[in-house]
Structure 1
Amino acid sequence: MKRVELVVVGAGVIGLSTAVVLAEALPLCRVTVVADQFSPDTTSDGAAGILLIAQFPDIPVERQTRWFKDSFDHLLAIAQSDQAPDAGVMLTSGCQIFREVPAQKVPFWSELVLGFRLLTERELKRFPQHCFGQAFTTLKCECEWYLPWLEKRFRKAGGEVQHRTVNDLRELGGSCDIIVNCSGLRAKALAGDEQVYPVRGQVLKVRAPWISHFIRDGDGKTYIYPGVHSVTVGGTRQEGDRRHEVDPTDSESILRRCGLLEPSLAKGKVLAEWVGLRPGRRNPRVEREALAMEGGGHRVPLVHNYGHGGAGVALSWGTALDTLGLVKQCLHEMPLQARL
């Protein structure tokens, strides 16, 4: 019996999450991940990995809630298992603080994290430049551990990996039945999507083991996230900036801003500096279409899952499950002989 061939393009947290979901749910299909970069060289590897999101403007909040809930529940199960150290997933408690009271004091994800509440006046005295805050427990997923763990899980499910560059999605159409595009920033070229743009992020890894609670400024640009082996401090959100080099001025700004929130950081030791280009888009693209091959006579089902910006880790499992649903639609519509 001929197996249906699925190709997932991209091996960041979106690509590998999607590949695992497909390989485990569709054992009669052969799933192959094709990418030019795997861990530790993906954008996801340097992500802070905290499960928090801002609301996207044009996606129903019910769908965003489901994406976040599915991702949170998936990672929470790992955090509460013996796989947590290998996967780099941990529970983390802390607060998000604001210089101005936000329009939504209680965000749509408040019931999905653990123990959400508003900060008291006494607690806010720690942050004299801020007037409002939220406290809760969420998850931190460190992709330098999580991506290799996902790849191992993918291979165990029968998945295959190809390390090569894809310059045109039509290259794949002759050898597979369905293409799943998780190419992140490269989707601008591969999918012709002019809505995709780089968002430069710079972070530092600091040795400061006495810091055990996260602090995040509500603007999303200043944060302190304790992890398994170090504290991630950041950051930048520079839209349209394609620089991969570490900017010393940005590092100085990060340490200064974070030091105002947590003065003891001055005693920490900077272990590493990192820059990554997030795949920015007004809304993530999780939808299907048909890819016309050269000559126009043959069309291959194409499912997109990219454009998550800084919310890749936080939405990865939820959008992977949505992608599975779209792939199942494609399989259902394929002629019977193509499925046998």
Structure 2
Amino acid sequence: MRRVRVCVVGAGVIGFSTAVCVAEALPFCSVTLLADKFSPDTTSDGAAGILFAAKFPDIPLERQKRWFKDSFDHLLDIAQSQHSPEAGVMLSSGWQIFKEVPADKKPFWADSVIGFRFMTEGELKRFPDHNFGQAFTTIKCECSSYLPWLEKRFRAAGGSVEQRKIDSLQELSSSYDIIVNCSGLGSKTLVHDNQVYPVRGQVLKVEAPWLQHFIRDGDGKTYIYPGIHGVTVGGTRQEQDWRLQVDDGDTRSILERCGSLEPSLSKARVLSKWVGLRPSRRNPRVEREMVKLQGRRVAVVHNYGHGGWGVTLAWGTALDALGLVRQCLDDMRLQAKL
């Protein structure tokens, strides 16, 4: 029997995670990953990459919990292995602080991270504007290292990689049996999804080796994440903003806000400034459909629209996408028998 030809579109953290899952689990498939941009030029490359999540409104909570736990456990295994430095995956402890006590004091992912607890009054004293906080150990995944590491793992599983721009799924119809769409914001044009929109994020990388703990304001706009190569400070959440240029006003605002949480940042040297557009959607789209392309019906699996939670949920949704690819294969076997 000839090998089933699978194509994954997109080389960000969702695309490569999905491609690795499919190539490793289904060796009888020939898997090709296509994208016009690869690391270090993807949106994922600038992501802070720290694992926690917000709730999506219309996805069953059990499914969201599974996405988070699967991703956390996968990255924890890497963080505790010899691959940690090369993959850019490390444990990170710190605090998430709130000006007002959140409705959800214990978020749905609290049992998946390590040592989750509420902050004590003594700990909160250093943040006088904040009245509630959570302390825990999670994982930081630096995609500028992680994506090349995943690519190596994908190639080792027999996958092939091709750099080209795809403007329409029609271009792929005659070459592949199953298409997996992980094109993020590109899905707006590729599959005409008007529900996906950009949320502009600007971050700075600073040199502050004395900082060992992350601090995140519960509003999600101000954060300090120490990593392997510098400290990521941010940020912005500007909806429907397509600008990719660094905004000096945003830079000043980031330094001011982060400096009020961590005064020693005034001594930190700015190493780089970066802007990316998060591929946001009311809910991520992780589902399959049959699409008519060039007169034939082709199975398409979608996995995109994670917004600012791509790194957090990538492995979990990739495993779901793998399950959907398996369903497509079962359907193809049935069709062949009829």
Task: Show the counterpart of 1:155.
Answer: 155
* AA matched with 2:107: P
Task: Show the counterpart of 1:321.
Answer: 319
* AA matched with 1:309: G
User: Are the aligned partners of 2:169 and 2:293 in contact in 1 as well (CA < 8 Å)?
Assistant: no
User: Are the aligned partners of 2:30 and 2:159 in contact in 1 as well (CA < 8 Å)?
Assistant: yes
* AA matched with 1:328: R
| 1:119-175 CA distance string (max 9 Å, x none) | 011111110110000000000000000000000000000000010000001110111
Matched, 1:196 2:181: no
Q: Give 3-state SS (helix, strand or coil) of 1:152's partner.
A: helix
Task: Show the counterpart of 2:14.
Answer: 14
User: Are the aligned partners of 1:170 and 1:291 in contact in 2 as well (CA < 8 Å)?
Assistant: no
Task: Show the counterpart of 1:38.
Answer: 38
Matched, 1:112 2:131: no
Q: 1:167-246 counterparts in 2 under 5 A?
A: 167-246=167-246
| Unaligned stretches of 5+ residues in structure 1 | none
User: Are the aligned partners of 2:56 and 2:283 in contact in 1 as well (CA < 8 Å)?
Assistant: yes
Q: Give 3-state SS (helix, strand or coil) of 1:81's partner.
A: coil
Q: Give 3-state SS (helix, strand or coil) of 1:55's partner.
A: coil
Give the deviation of 1:229 after TM superposition.
1.4
Q: 1:28-107 counterparts in 2 under 5 A?
A: 28-107=28-107
Q: Give 3-state SS (helix, strand or coil) of 2:103's partner.
A: coil
TM-score, length basis structure 1: 0.98
Structure-2 separation of matches of 1:211 and 1:173: 51
Task: Show the counterpart of 1:308.
Answer: 306
User: Are the aligned partners of 1:204 and 1:271 in contact in 2 as well (CA < 8 Å)?
Assistant: yes
User: Are the aligned partners of 2:93 and 2:136 in contact in 1 as well (CA < 8 Å)?
Assistant: yes
* Change over 3 Å in CA distance of 1:279–1:265 after alignment to 2: same
Structure-1 separation of matches of 2:331 and 2:289: 13
Matched, 1:138 2:138: yes
Q: Give 3-state SS (helix, strand or coil) of 1:162's partner.
A: strand
Structure-2 separation of matches of 1:328 and 1:15: 17
Give the deviation of 1:192 after TM superposition.
1.0
| 1:51-97 CA distance string (max 9 Å, x none) | 01101111000000000000000000000000000000000000000
Give the deviation of 1:204 after TM superposition.
0.2
Task: Show the counterpart of 2:291.
Answer: 291
* AA matched with 1:317: W
Q: Give 3-state SS (helix, strand or coil) of 2:264's partner.
A: helix
* AA matched with 1:60: P
| 1:167-186 CA distance string (max 9 Å, x none) | 00111011100000000000
* AA matched with 1:267: K
Give the deviation of 1:335 after TM superposition.
3.9
Structure-1 separation of matches of 2:159 and 2:73: 24
Structure-1 separation of matches of 2:182 and 2:39: 15
* AA matched with 2:146: Y
* AA matched with 2:328: C
Q: Give 3-state SS (helix, strand or coil) of 1:251's partner.
A: helix
* AA matched with 2:321: T
User: Are the aligned partners of 2:68 and 2:313 in contact in 1 as well (CA < 8 Å)?
Assistant: yes
Give the deviation of 1:337 after TM superposition.
8.2
User: Are the aligned partners of 1:4 and 1:338 in contact in 2 as well (CA < 8 Å)?
Assistant: no
Report sequence identity in percent: 72
TM-score, length basis structure 2: 0.98
Aligned-CA RMSD value: 1.0
Tell me how many residue pairs correspond in the alignment: 337
Q: Give 3-state SS (helix, strand or coil) of 2:129's partner.
A: coil
